[in-house]
């Protein structure tokens, strides 16, 4: 069994984040995590640079996964939600509709997780800063069940879709500061050690999301 935070940003490639890449490893270990995924906005870390950081993590017993978080819009430019992507080896820097993004990733053997689908919008222009009820109709491989900005009511909506669709729920902190790492995380039943194994376990549904009790929001 391993505990991974599947949703973390750094200031290296996410302008809105404040976490130094070198601080990721220490903080994750302090939180008792076995690994974490870097999911920068709109890009995947270059492999050479990521491999150097991953080697530092592995030397301290921490698994590091290279992912990305992609913002999607409909044909009118309206937000369709954000999605965590694993197993796609290039940065998805274009503009995508949600259904097209999922198809592109699946064709290359990757997986897509709907990020914070019921996170409430703070600007009043939309109900959710996530995919919302459209989650029922998109062929995602998993959905972020535990997220610091999803309360019990939001999680109940996610669980309803999980049951209907037969997909697993993950946990991710969406950390932009080091202290948030590990607020929510995903438990993998198997002893995974690679991105390929992570993808396999997500597809098989042998995972479950959870969180630190102190992060509960009602």
pLDDT tens-digit readout, 85-108: 999 999 999 899 999 999 999 999
pLDDT at residue 216 is higher than 50: no
Give the global pTM.
Answer: 0.94
pLDDT exceeds 90 at position 130: no
Show me where the domains of the chain are located: 2-215
HEC assignment per residue over the chain: CEEEEEEECCCCCCCCCCCCHHHHHHHHHHCCCCEEEEEEECCCCCHHHHHHHHHHHHHCCCEEEEEEEEEEECCCCCEEEEEEEECCCCCCCCCECHHHHHHHHHHCCCEEEEECCCCECCCCCCCECCCHHHHHHCCCCEEEEECCCCCHHHHHHHHHHHHHHCCCEEECCCECCHHHCCCEEEEECCCCCCHHHHHHHHHHCCEEEEECHHHCCC
CATH topology (fold) of 2-215: TIM Barrel (3.20.20)
- Tens digits of per-residue pLDDT, 54-89? 999 999 999 999 999 999 999 888 889 999 999 999
């Amino acid at each position: 069994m391993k505990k991974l935070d599947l949703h973390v940003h750094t200031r290296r490639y996410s302008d809105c984040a404040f976490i130094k890449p070198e601080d990721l490893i220490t903080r994750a270990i302090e939180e008792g995590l076995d690994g974490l995924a870097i999911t920068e906005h709109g890009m995947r870390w270059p492999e050479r640079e990521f491999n150097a950081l991953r080697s530092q993590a592995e030397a301290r017993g921490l698994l590091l996964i290279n992912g990305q978080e992609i913002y999607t819009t409909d044909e009118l430019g309206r937000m369709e939600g954000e999605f965590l992507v694993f197993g796609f080896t290039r940065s998805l820097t274009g503009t995508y509709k949600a259904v097209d993004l999922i198809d592109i990733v699946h064709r290359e053997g990757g997986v897509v997780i709907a990020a914070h689908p019921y996170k409430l919008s703070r600007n009043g222009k939309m109900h959710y800063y996530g995919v919302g009820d459209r989650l029922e109709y998109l062929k995602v491989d998993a959905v972020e069940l535990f997220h610091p900005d999803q309360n019990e009511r939001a999680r109940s909506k996610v669980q309803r879709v999980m049951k209907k669709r037969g997909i697993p729920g993950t946990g991710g902190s969406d950390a932009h500061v080091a202290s948030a790492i590990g607020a929510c995380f995903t438990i993998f039943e198997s002893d995974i050690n690679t991105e390929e194994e992570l993808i396999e376990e997500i597809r098989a549904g042998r995972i479950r999301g959870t969180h630190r009790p102190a992060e509960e929001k009602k």
